[in-house]
Amino acid sequence: MTTVVKSRIRRDDDVIVTAGRDKGSRGKVIRVMASDGQVLVSKINMIKRHTRQSQASAGGIIEKEAPLAISNVQYYCSKCKSGVRLGAKTLEDGSKVRTCRKCGEVLDK
Ligand SMILES: [Zn+2]
């Protein structure tokens, strides 16, 4: 049984890695796999893959992102210049937005 990890991280968010090999690195979220509790972040957790020669490619070694645990990344707040926890807020017009818990900045426009 898989545990669905509740996270407010979304695609295209800027995140900072808080644990593991790429600790302290920043990247953009490519994909959120909520049911696996994992995220793909651009240029983070790169792995080398050997591909066989085919008509489509010359083969060789390609580098690609490997998923990492969603709990190992935090939203990067450009105002706080650090990883922060996200809060939620309902605006006057009824729309829900995410906020930085540190500085209170509304992150969704
Ligand atoms: Zn902030």
CA 101 – ligand 1 centroid, Å: 7
Q: Kindly list the protein residues that place their beta carbon closer than 5 angstroms to ligand 1, a single-atom ion.
A: 77, 79-80, 100, 102-103, 105
What is the pLDDT, as a whole number, of residue 1?
52
| Residue 91 belongs to some domain of the structure | no
Structure token pair of residue 58: 């010359």
Q: Which of 5-14, 21-30, 46-55 has the lowest mean pLDDT?
A: 46-55
- Is residue 4, in this structure, part of any structural domain at all? no
In a domain, 59, yes or no: yes
Interval between CA 75 and ligand 1 midpoint (Å): 9
Q: How many CB atoms lie within 10 A of CB 87?
A: 15
Residue 3: inside a domain, yes or no? no
Residue-wise pLDDT for 44-102, tens only, equals 999 998 887 777 777 788 899 999 999 999 999 999 999 999 999 999 999 999 999 99
Domain span at 40:
14-78
Ligand 1 mean position, distance from CA 38 (Å) = 24
CATH number at residue 21: 2.30.30.30
Count structural domains, the chain. Answer: 1
- Residue 105 CB coordination number (10 Å): 14
Give residue 65's Cα distance to chain centre. Answer: 12
Domain membership of residue 105 (yes or no) is: no
Q: What is the pLDDT of residue 37?
A: 94
